[in-house]
Structure 1
Amino acid sequence: MEKLTSVKTIVFDYDGTLHDSREIYIPAFKRAYDYLVEQKKAAPRDWKDEEITQWLGYSKQDMWQLFMPDLEDTVQQKASHLIGETMQTKLLNNEAKVYPRALETLKYLKDKGYTMLFLSNCSIDYMEQHNELFGLDQYFSKLLCTEQFNFKKSKKEIMKIVKQDYEEDFVVIGDRFQDIEVGELDGFYSIGCQYGFGKIGELKASDLVINDISELKHFL
Protein backbone atom coordinates (compact mmCIF):
# COMPACT_ATOMS: atom_id res chain seq x y z
CA MET A 1 0.00 0.00 0.00
CA GLU A 2 1.33 3.45 -0.92
CA LYS A 3 1.45 6.40 1.44
CA LEU A 4 -1.93 7.78 2.51
CA THR A 5 -1.20 11.25 1.23
CA SER A 6 -4.70 12.65 1.75
CA VAL A 7 -4.92 11.86 5.47
CA LYS A 8 -5.08 14.85 7.81
CA THR A 9 -6.46 13.36 11.06
CA ILE A 10 -5.39 10.15 12.82
CA VAL A 11 -7.59 8.42 15.40
CA PHE A 12 -5.71 6.08 17.75
CA ASP A 13 -7.05 3.31 19.94
CA TYR A 14 -4.94 2.91 23.09
CA ASP A 15 -4.92 -0.54 24.75
CA GLY A 16 -3.41 -3.09 22.37
CA THR A 17 -2.39 -0.36 19.95
CA LEU A 18 -0.11 1.96 21.91
CA HIS A 19 -0.27 0.47 25.41
CA ASP A 20 0.68 -3.16 26.13
CA SER A 21 -2.12 -3.65 28.64
CA ARG A 22 -1.06 -7.16 29.63
CA GLU A 23 1.32 -5.81 32.27
CA ILE A 24 -1.45 -4.31 34.37
CA TYR A 25 -4.66 -6.01 33.22
CA ILE A 26 -3.81 -9.70 33.56
CA PRO A 27 -2.95 -9.54 37.30
CA ALA A 28 -5.97 -7.29 37.88
CA PHE A 29 -8.32 -9.75 36.17
CA LYS A 30 -6.88 -12.68 38.14
CA ARG A 31 -7.35 -10.85 41.43
CA ALA A 32 -10.99 -10.14 40.58
CA TYR A 33 -11.56 -13.74 39.49
CA ASP A 34 -10.06 -15.01 42.76
CA TYR A 35 -12.64 -12.87 44.55
CA LEU A 36 -15.44 -14.45 42.49
CA VAL A 37 -14.13 -17.89 43.42
CA GLU A 38 -14.03 -16.92 47.11
CA GLN A 39 -17.64 -15.76 46.83
CA LYS A 40 -18.55 -19.07 45.16
CA LYS A 41 -19.66 -17.21 42.03
CA ALA A 42 -17.10 -18.92 39.80
CA ALA A 43 -15.17 -22.18 39.70
CA PRO A 44 -11.39 -22.22 40.24
CA ARG A 45 -9.43 -22.43 37.01
CA ASP A 46 -6.11 -21.49 35.41
CA TRP A 47 -6.35 -18.72 32.86
CA LYS A 48 -4.21 -18.39 29.77
CA ASP A 49 -3.07 -14.85 29.00
CA GLU A 50 -4.91 -14.77 25.67
CA GLU A 51 -8.15 -15.79 27.38
CA ILE A 52 -7.86 -12.75 29.62
CA THR A 53 -6.70 -10.24 27.03
CA GLN A 54 -9.69 -11.02 24.81
CA TRP A 55 -11.67 -8.62 27.03
CA LEU A 56 -9.36 -5.71 26.36
CA GLY A 57 -11.01 -3.26 24.00
CA TYR A 58 -14.50 -3.70 25.46
CA SER A 59 -16.14 -1.19 27.77
CA LYS A 60 -16.58 -2.39 31.35
CA GLN A 61 -20.31 -2.88 30.81
CA ASP A 62 -19.86 -4.89 27.60
CA MET A 63 -17.13 -7.03 29.14
CA TRP A 64 -19.29 -8.15 32.07
CA GLN A 65 -22.33 -8.65 29.85
CA LEU A 66 -20.34 -11.05 27.71
CA PHE A 67 -18.23 -12.65 30.45
CA MET A 68 -20.72 -13.25 33.31
CA PRO A 69 -24.08 -11.71 32.35
CA ASP A 70 -25.98 -13.27 35.27
CA LEU A 71 -23.65 -12.03 38.01
CA GLU A 72 -25.38 -9.95 40.70
CA ASP A 73 -24.74 -6.22 40.40
CA THR A 74 -23.14 -5.89 43.83
CA VAL A 75 -20.66 -8.70 43.16
CA GLN A 76 -19.91 -7.39 39.68
CA GLN A 77 -19.26 -3.91 41.05
CA LYS A 78 -16.86 -5.28 43.68
CA ALA A 79 -15.00 -7.33 41.07
CA SER A 80 -14.80 -4.29 38.77
CA HIS A 81 -13.49 -2.22 41.66
CA LEU A 82 -10.75 -4.78 42.30
CA ILE A 83 -9.72 -4.67 38.64
CA GLY A 84 -9.60 -0.87 38.64
CA GLU A 85 -7.80 -0.69 41.99
CA THR A 86 -5.14 -3.19 40.95
CA MET A 87 -4.50 -1.46 37.63
CA GLN A 88 -4.26 1.92 39.36
CA THR A 89 -1.73 0.57 41.86
CA LYS A 90 0.39 -0.80 39.04
CA LEU A 91 0.15 2.53 37.22
CA LEU A 92 1.35 4.36 40.33
CA ASN A 93 4.23 1.87 40.54
CA ASN A 94 5.17 2.68 36.93
CA GLU A 95 4.42 -0.88 35.81
CA ALA A 96 2.38 0.19 32.76
CA LYS A 97 4.27 -0.16 29.48
CA VAL A 98 3.64 1.27 26.04
CA TYR A 99 4.83 -0.79 23.10
CA PRO A 100 8.43 -0.26 21.96
CA ARG A 101 8.62 2.66 19.51
CA ALA A 102 5.06 3.78 20.30
CA LEU A 103 5.91 7.22 21.68
CA GLU A 104 8.64 7.64 19.06
CA THR A 105 6.05 6.96 16.35
CA LEU A 106 3.57 9.42 17.89
CA LYS A 107 6.27 12.11 17.87
CA TYR A 108 7.08 11.34 14.23
CA LEU A 109 3.42 11.73 13.24
CA LYS A 110 3.01 14.89 15.31
CA ASP A 111 6.10 16.40 13.69
CA LYS A 112 4.67 15.55 10.27
CA GLY A 113 1.73 17.83 11.06
CA TYR A 114 -1.07 15.34 11.56
CA THR A 115 -3.90 16.08 13.96
CA MET A 116 -4.19 13.09 16.31
CA LEU A 117 -7.11 11.97 18.46
CA PHE A 118 -7.05 9.45 21.32
CA LEU A 119 -10.18 7.25 21.44
CA SER A 120 -10.55 4.45 23.98
CA ASN A 121 -13.26 2.28 25.56
CA CYS A 122 -12.01 3.28 28.99
CA SER A 123 -12.90 5.42 31.99
CA ILE A 124 -11.96 9.07 32.38
CA ASP A 125 -9.70 8.26 35.35
CA TYR A 126 -7.85 5.58 33.38
CA MET A 127 -7.32 7.96 30.47
CA GLU A 128 -6.12 10.79 32.71
CA GLN A 129 -3.74 8.53 34.66
CA HIS A 130 -2.11 7.30 31.46
CA ASN A 131 -1.95 10.85 30.16
CA GLU A 132 -0.08 11.88 33.29
CA LEU A 133 2.29 8.91 33.08
CA PHE A 134 3.14 9.10 29.37
CA GLY A 135 2.40 12.74 28.51
CA LEU A 136 -0.17 11.77 25.89
CA ASP A 137 -1.55 15.28 25.51
CA GLN A 138 1.72 16.44 23.97
CA TYR A 139 0.82 14.27 20.96
CA PHE A 140 -2.99 14.26 20.90
CA SER A 141 -5.19 17.26 20.16
CA LYS A 142 -8.09 15.58 21.99
CA LEU A 143 -8.38 12.73 24.47
CA LEU A 144 -11.70 10.89 24.10
CA CYS A 145 -13.12 7.94 26.01
CA THR A 146 -16.48 6.23 26.17
CA GLU A 147 -17.15 7.29 29.77
CA GLN A 148 -17.39 10.88 28.50
CA PHE A 149 -20.46 9.60 26.64
CA ASN A 150 -21.78 7.62 29.65
CA PHE A 151 -20.53 4.36 28.09
CA LYS A 152 -23.61 4.48 25.85
CA LYS A 153 -21.98 5.21 22.51
CA SER A 154 -19.63 3.07 20.46
CA LYS A 155 -16.41 4.44 19.05
CA LYS A 156 -18.08 4.68 15.66
CA GLU A 157 -20.96 6.70 17.12
CA ILE A 158 -18.54 8.99 18.95
CA MET A 159 -16.60 9.70 15.78
CA LYS A 160 -19.83 10.49 13.94
CA ILE A 161 -20.30 13.27 16.49
CA VAL A 162 -16.78 14.69 16.65
CA LYS A 163 -15.49 14.19 13.09
CA GLN A 164 -17.04 17.44 11.93
CA ASP A 165 -14.57 19.32 14.13
CA TYR A 166 -11.55 17.92 12.31
CA GLU A 167 -10.16 17.87 8.81
CA GLU A 168 -10.67 14.89 6.47
CA ASP A 169 -9.34 12.45 5.44
CA PHE A 170 -9.15 10.31 8.58
CA VAL A 171 -7.36 7.09 9.43
CA VAL A 172 -8.33 5.01 12.47
CA ILE A 173 -5.70 2.71 13.99
CA GLY A 174 -6.55 -0.10 16.40
CA ASP A 175 -6.43 -3.78 17.27
CA ARG A 176 -10.11 -4.71 17.75
CA PHE A 177 -13.24 -4.85 15.61
CA GLN A 178 -14.62 -1.81 17.46
CA ASP A 179 -11.80 0.24 15.90
CA ILE A 180 -12.17 -1.17 12.40
CA GLU A 181 -15.91 -0.33 12.51
CA VAL A 182 -14.94 3.34 12.75
CA GLY A 183 -13.30 2.92 9.35
CA GLU A 184 -16.74 2.31 7.84
CA LEU A 185 -17.51 6.01 8.14
CA ASP A 186 -17.16 8.21 5.06
CA GLY A 187 -13.70 9.69 4.70
CA PHE A 188 -12.00 7.05 6.86
CA TYR A 189 -9.25 4.51 6.27
CA SER A 190 -8.59 1.79 8.84
CA ILE A 191 -5.30 0.23 9.94
CA GLY A 192 -5.44 -2.94 12.03
CA CYS A 193 -2.74 -3.77 14.57
CA GLN A 194 -2.02 -7.49 14.32
CA TYR A 195 0.21 -7.40 17.42
CA GLY A 196 -2.69 -6.39 19.69
CA PHE A 197 -5.46 -8.39 21.35
CA GLY A 198 -7.95 -9.02 18.57
CA LYS A 199 -9.06 -12.52 17.64
CA ILE A 200 -8.44 -14.02 14.20
CA GLY A 201 -10.65 -12.32 11.64
CA GLU A 202 -11.35 -9.12 13.58
CA LEU A 203 -9.13 -7.06 11.31
CA LYS A 204 -10.18 -8.54 7.97
CA ALA A 205 -12.21 -5.46 7.03
CA SER A 206 -9.28 -3.08 7.61
CA ASP A 207 -7.58 -1.37 4.70
CA LEU A 208 -4.14 -2.31 6.01
CA VAL A 209 -2.66 -4.52 8.75
CA ILE A 210 0.61 -3.79 10.55
CA ASN A 211 2.74 -5.94 12.87
CA ASP A 212 4.58 -3.13 14.65
CA ILE A 213 3.49 0.40 15.48
CA SER A 214 6.61 1.85 13.80
CA GLU A 215 5.39 0.54 10.41
CA LEU A 216 3.07 3.56 10.33
CA LYS A 217 6.08 5.59 9.17
CA HIS A 218 5.92 3.75 5.85
CA PHE A 219 2.33 4.82 5.16
CA LEU A 220 1.91 8.19 6.88
Structure 2
Amino acid sequence: MSTIPFAVIFDMDGTLFQTNKILGSSLEKTFEVLRSEGHWQGEAPLAVYQKIMGVPLKVVWETLLPNHDESIRNQADKLFLECLNQEIKEGKGQLYPNVIETLSLFKQRGIPLFIVSNGLEKYLEELCAYFKLHDFLTDVYSVERSLVGSKTDVVHMLLKDYTIEEAVMVGDRKSDIEAAKENGLVAVGCQFGFAAANELAGADFLIKDFLELQAFVLKRRSALTF
Protein backbone atom coordinates (compact mmCIF):
# COMPACT_ATOMS: atom_id res chain seq x y z
CA MET A 1 0.00 0.00 0.00
CA SER A 2 1.34 3.44 -0.98
CA THR A 3 1.98 6.14 1.61
CA ILE A 4 -0.75 8.70 2.33
CA PRO A 5 0.92 12.09 2.86
CA PHE A 6 -2.13 13.81 4.36
CA ALA A 7 -5.55 12.71 5.65
CA VAL A 8 -8.43 13.85 7.84
CA ILE A 9 -9.78 11.63 10.63
CA PHE A 10 -13.22 12.29 12.13
CA ASP A 11 -14.95 11.22 15.29
CA MET A 12 -18.62 10.35 14.72
CA ASP A 13 -20.87 11.18 17.70
CA GLY A 14 -20.99 14.88 18.46
CA THR A 15 -18.72 15.59 15.49
CA LEU A 16 -20.35 14.40 12.27
CA PHE A 17 -23.60 13.13 13.75
CA GLN A 18 -26.01 14.93 16.08
CA THR A 19 -26.35 12.00 18.44
CA ASN A 20 -28.48 14.04 20.84
CA LYS A 21 -31.34 13.79 18.32
CA ILE A 22 -31.78 10.07 19.05
CA LEU A 23 -29.94 9.60 22.33
CA GLY A 24 -32.73 10.45 24.77
CA SER A 25 -35.46 8.40 23.14
CA SER A 26 -33.18 5.39 22.63
CA LEU A 27 -31.99 5.47 26.23
CA GLU A 28 -35.54 5.84 27.52
CA LYS A 29 -36.71 2.83 25.49
CA THR A 30 -33.79 0.80 26.82
CA PHE A 31 -34.52 1.63 30.45
CA GLU A 32 -38.23 1.11 29.91
CA VAL A 33 -37.46 -2.53 29.18
CA LEU A 34 -35.15 -2.72 32.21
CA ARG A 35 -37.93 -1.23 34.40
CA SER A 36 -40.49 -3.71 33.08
CA GLU A 37 -38.17 -6.57 34.06
CA GLY A 38 -37.49 -5.16 37.52
CA HIS A 39 -33.88 -4.17 36.82
CA TRP A 40 -34.37 -0.40 37.14
CA GLN A 41 -36.46 2.18 38.98
CA GLY A 42 -36.95 5.84 38.18
CA GLU A 43 -36.08 7.86 35.10
CA ALA A 44 -33.48 6.92 32.52
CA PRO A 45 -30.11 8.50 33.49
CA LEU A 46 -29.87 10.72 30.41
CA ALA A 47 -28.02 13.57 32.17
CA VAL A 48 -25.34 11.15 33.36
CA TYR A 49 -24.90 9.72 29.87
CA GLN A 50 -24.62 13.16 28.29
CA LYS A 51 -21.71 13.96 30.60
CA ILE A 52 -19.75 10.87 29.53
CA MET A 53 -20.86 10.76 25.89
CA GLY A 54 -18.01 9.56 23.68
CA VAL A 55 -16.52 6.98 26.03
CA PRO A 56 -16.56 3.27 25.05
CA LEU A 57 -19.93 1.60 25.65
CA LYS A 58 -18.42 -0.74 28.23
CA VAL A 59 -17.63 2.33 30.33
CA VAL A 60 -21.10 3.73 29.64
CA TRP A 61 -22.86 0.76 31.18
CA GLU A 62 -20.43 0.49 34.08
CA THR A 63 -21.30 4.12 34.81
CA LEU A 64 -25.06 3.96 34.26
CA LEU A 65 -25.52 0.54 35.87
CA PRO A 66 -22.76 0.42 38.51
CA ASN A 67 -24.61 -2.01 40.80
CA HIS A 68 -25.84 -4.41 38.12
CA ASP A 69 -24.48 -7.72 36.90
CA GLU A 70 -22.56 -7.90 33.65
CA SER A 71 -25.44 -9.80 32.08
CA ILE A 72 -27.80 -6.85 32.67
CA ARG A 73 -25.24 -4.42 31.26
CA ASN A 74 -24.86 -6.60 28.17
CA GLN A 75 -28.64 -6.70 27.80
CA ALA A 76 -28.84 -2.90 28.05
CA ASP A 77 -26.02 -2.55 25.52
CA LYS A 78 -27.84 -4.75 23.01
CA LEU A 79 -31.18 -3.00 23.55
CA PHE A 80 -29.62 0.43 23.20
CA LEU A 81 -27.88 -0.44 19.94
CA GLU A 82 -31.13 -1.82 18.52
CA CYS A 83 -32.99 1.36 19.51
CA LEU A 84 -30.33 3.64 18.03
CA ASN A 85 -30.28 1.76 14.74
CA GLN A 86 -34.08 1.83 14.52
CA GLU A 87 -34.13 5.58 15.14
CA ILE A 88 -31.56 6.05 12.37
CA LYS A 89 -33.60 3.92 9.95
CA GLU A 90 -36.66 6.02 10.75
CA GLY A 91 -34.78 9.17 9.79
CA LYS A 92 -34.78 10.73 13.25
CA GLY A 93 -31.04 11.47 13.30
CA GLN A 94 -29.21 14.31 11.57
CA LEU A 95 -25.68 15.19 10.59
CA TYR A 96 -24.35 18.58 11.65
CA PRO A 97 -24.71 21.44 9.15
CA ASN A 98 -22.26 21.42 6.22
CA VAL A 99 -20.92 17.92 6.95
CA ILE A 100 -21.74 16.44 3.53
CA GLU A 101 -20.53 19.56 1.75
CA THR A 102 -17.25 19.38 3.65
CA LEU A 103 -16.68 15.69 3.03
CA SER A 104 -17.49 16.18 -0.65
CA LEU A 105 -15.05 19.09 -0.95
CA PHE A 106 -12.23 17.18 0.73
CA LYS A 107 -12.79 14.15 -1.48
CA GLN A 108 -12.76 16.35 -4.59
CA ARG A 109 -9.39 17.70 -3.43
CA GLY A 110 -8.07 14.15 -3.12
CA ILE A 111 -7.86 14.06 0.68
CA PRO A 112 -8.42 10.57 2.17
CA LEU A 113 -11.09 10.65 4.90
CA PHE A 114 -11.51 8.28 7.84
CA ILE A 115 -13.74 7.82 10.87
CA VAL A 116 -12.45 6.60 14.23
CA SER A 117 -15.19 6.13 16.81
CA ASN A 118 -15.93 4.54 20.16
CA GLY A 119 -19.22 3.42 18.61
CA LEU A 120 -19.83 -0.19 17.70
CA GLU A 121 -19.39 -1.40 14.12
CA LYS A 122 -23.12 -2.14 13.55
CA TYR A 123 -24.06 1.34 14.72
CA LEU A 124 -21.42 3.04 12.59
CA GLU A 125 -22.41 1.00 9.55
CA GLU A 126 -26.07 1.97 10.03
CA LEU A 127 -25.11 5.65 10.10
CA CYS A 128 -22.76 5.41 7.15
CA ALA A 129 -25.32 3.52 5.08
CA TYR A 130 -28.22 5.85 5.87
CA PHE A 131 -26.28 9.06 5.18
CA LYS A 132 -24.25 7.51 2.31
CA LEU A 133 -20.99 8.43 4.01
CA HIS A 134 -19.14 5.58 2.31
CA ASP A 135 -19.27 7.72 -0.85
CA PHE A 136 -16.63 9.93 0.79
CA LEU A 137 -14.75 7.71 3.24
CA THR A 138 -11.69 5.54 2.78
CA ASP A 139 -12.39 3.49 5.91
CA VAL A 140 -14.24 3.43 9.25
CA TYR A 141 -12.54 2.21 12.43
CA SER A 142 -14.58 1.20 15.46
CA VAL A 143 -13.02 0.85 18.89
CA GLU A 144 -13.98 -2.82 18.55
CA ARG A 145 -10.87 -3.24 16.40
CA SER A 146 -8.66 -2.58 19.43
CA LEU A 147 -7.90 -5.09 22.15
CA VAL A 148 -6.90 -2.16 24.37
CA GLY A 149 -10.22 -0.43 23.76
CA SER A 150 -8.85 3.11 23.51
CA LYS A 151 -9.28 5.67 20.74
CA THR A 152 -5.58 6.47 20.91
CA ASP A 153 -4.78 2.85 20.10
CA VAL A 154 -7.29 2.72 17.24
CA VAL A 155 -5.88 5.89 15.68
CA HIS A 156 -2.37 4.44 15.94
CA MET A 157 -3.62 1.29 14.21
CA LEU A 158 -5.19 3.33 11.40
CA LEU A 159 -2.05 5.41 10.84
CA LYS A 160 0.03 2.24 10.59
CA ASP A 161 -2.44 0.35 8.38
CA TYR A 162 -2.58 3.14 5.80
CA THR A 163 0.95 4.53 6.29
CA ILE A 164 -0.37 8.03 6.90
CA GLU A 165 2.37 10.62 7.30
CA GLU A 166 0.31 13.58 8.52
CA ALA A 167 -3.32 14.00 9.51
CA VAL A 168 -5.83 16.34 11.08
CA MET A 169 -8.09 14.71 13.66
CA VAL A 170 -11.51 16.27 14.28
CA GLY A 171 -13.51 15.52 17.43
CA ASP A 172 -15.63 16.95 20.21
CA ARG A 173 -14.24 15.23 23.32
CA LYS A 174 -11.02 15.17 25.31
CA SER A 175 -10.38 11.61 24.15
CA ASP A 176 -10.25 12.85 20.55
CA ILE A 177 -7.73 15.55 21.40
CA GLU A 178 -5.62 13.07 23.38
CA ALA A 179 -5.74 10.51 20.57
CA ALA A 180 -4.54 13.16 18.12
CA LYS A 181 -1.75 14.48 20.33
CA GLU A 182 -0.47 11.07 21.42
CA ASN A 183 -0.19 10.10 17.76
CA GLY A 184 1.49 13.32 16.66
CA LEU A 185 -1.53 14.68 14.77
CA VAL A 186 -3.11 18.11 14.50
CA ALA A 187 -6.17 18.26 16.80
CA VAL A 188 -9.31 20.17 15.83
CA GLY A 189 -11.97 20.53 18.53
CA CYS A 190 -15.68 20.85 17.71
CA GLN A 191 -17.42 23.32 20.01
CA PHE A 192 -20.88 22.14 18.94
CA GLY A 193 -20.60 18.59 20.32
CA PHE A 194 -20.66 17.12 23.82
CA ALA A 195 -17.53 18.77 25.23
CA ALA A 196 -17.68 20.34 28.67
CA ALA A 197 -16.05 23.70 29.45
CA ASN A 198 -12.27 23.65 28.85
CA GLU A 199 -12.39 20.03 27.64
CA LEU A 200 -10.95 21.04 24.27
CA ALA A 201 -8.21 23.24 25.73
CA GLY A 202 -5.48 21.07 24.18
CA ALA A 203 -6.77 21.42 20.62
CA ASP A 204 -4.69 23.19 17.97
CA PHE A 205 -7.78 24.77 16.44
CA LEU A 206 -11.44 25.13 17.45
CA ILE A 207 -14.42 25.24 15.11
CA LYS A 208 -18.06 26.21 15.54
CA ASP A 209 -19.03 25.12 12.02
CA PHE A 210 -17.63 22.82 9.35
CA LEU A 211 -17.08 25.79 7.04
CA GLU A 212 -14.26 26.80 9.39
CA LEU A 213 -12.84 23.30 9.11
CA GLN A 214 -12.80 23.52 5.32
CA ALA A 215 -10.58 26.58 5.35
CA PHE A 216 -8.28 25.20 8.04
CA VAL A 217 -7.72 21.82 6.38
CA LEU A 218 -7.20 23.19 2.87
CA LYS A 219 -4.68 25.74 4.18
CA ARG A 220 -2.91 23.01 6.14
CA ARG A 221 -2.73 20.74 3.11
CA SER A 222 -1.52 23.48 0.77
CA ALA A 223 1.38 24.17 3.14
CA LEU A 224 2.69 20.64 2.69
CA THR A 225 5.26 19.74 0.07
CA PHE A 226 4.35 16.45 -1.62
TM range (shorter): 0.7 to 0.9
Who is 2:115 aligned against? Answer: 118
Cα distance in 2, alignment partners of residues 42 and 69 from structure 1: 12
Counterpart for residue 17 of structure 1: 15
Map of 1:196 onto structure 2: 193
Specify the SS of the correspondent of 2:87: helix
Amino acid at match of 2:21: E
| Consecutive unaligned residues in structure 2, runs of 5 or more | 218-226
The runs of 5 or more residues in structure 1 that have no matched partner are 1-6
* Partners of 2:26 and 2:87 within 8 A in 1: no
Deviates more, 1:14-23 or 1:158-167: 158-167
**Residue deviations 1:89-141 (CA, integer Å, cap 9, x gap):** 11221222111111111111112221111111111111111121111122111
Q: Does the CA-based 8 Å contact 1:29-1:52 persist in structure 2?
A: no
Q: Is the 8 A contact 1:174 1:180 kept in 2?
A: yes
Question: What's the % identity of the aligned pairs?
Answer: 25
Conserved 8 A contact 1:17-1:193: yes
Q: Distance in 2 between matches of 1:135 and 1:122?
A: 18
Tell whether 2:65 aligns with 1:65.
no
Shift of 1:33: 2.5
Task: From 141, 149, 153, give the equivalent of 1:153.
Answer: 149
8 Å CA contact 1:168–1:187 kept in 2: the answer is no
TM-score for both structures, normalised by structure 1: 0.87
Letter in 2 for 1:58: V
Alignment length (residue pairs): 212
Distance verdict in 2 for CA 1:129–1:186, change over 3 Å: closer
The whole-number CA distance in structure 1 between the counterparts of 2:39 and 2:190 is 35
Q: Which consecutive aligned stretches of 4+ in structure 1 deviate over 6 angstroms post-superposition?
A: none
RMSD of aligned Cα (Å)? 2.0
